[in-house]
Structure 1
Amino acid sequence: MTIYYDCRHCGQRIGKLDQKEIDVSLLGFDQLTNKDLTDMIYYDQDGNMRVKSICENCQRTLEQHPNYHELDFFLQ
């Protein structure tokens, strides 16, 4: 299984883990609430796990413009 990490705001690929077996508890997914799991993690049509996260550029933008946290999408 491959786990892809993509930015939830700009869609940029942040990284990927590609292993036959992955213990998701080592990744901290067991610490997430059910709502967070639903909002952040899904499986694509190929059976790969997709994790919505945030890239450094979008994080920097949110730090510079805190009011953007109110928006679902701040990139146009």
Structure 2
Amino acid sequence: MPIIYQCRHCGQEIGQLNQRRVDASMLGLDQLSADDTRDMIDYRENGDIKIKAICESCEASLESHPTYHELDHFLQ
């Protein structure tokens, strides 16, 4: 059951953990609110877990253009 980190903005895969057993607290997932958990974590039918995060490139774009935070999708 891989845990796949994917950028919520550009869709690029950021990284992947391939472990049989992972404690949510080790990943900091227990610190998320219920709304954030619903928004950021996708449990797939095949057992994979996809976590929406932000890649370095999109983070840099958001820092350079703070108004992009107002948009749901800033990449065209």
TM superposition score normalised by structure 1: 0.97
Partner of 2:45: 45
Moved over 4 A (4+): none
* Within-5 A mapping of 1:49-68: 49-68=49-68
State how far apart, in whole Å, the 1-side matches of 2:45 and 2:69 are. Answer: 30
TM superposition score normalised by structure 2: 0.97
SS in 2 for 1:39: helix
Gaps of 5+ in 2: none
SS in 1 for 2:22: coil
State how far apart, in whole Å, the 1-side matches of 2:67 and 2:73 are. Answer: 12
The code of the aligned residue for 1:13 comes to: E
Partner of 1:30: 30
Let me know the Cα RMSD of the aligned residues: 0.6
Gaps of 5+ in 1: none
Q: CA deviation at 1:29?
A: 0.5
Give the % identical residues.
Answer: 57
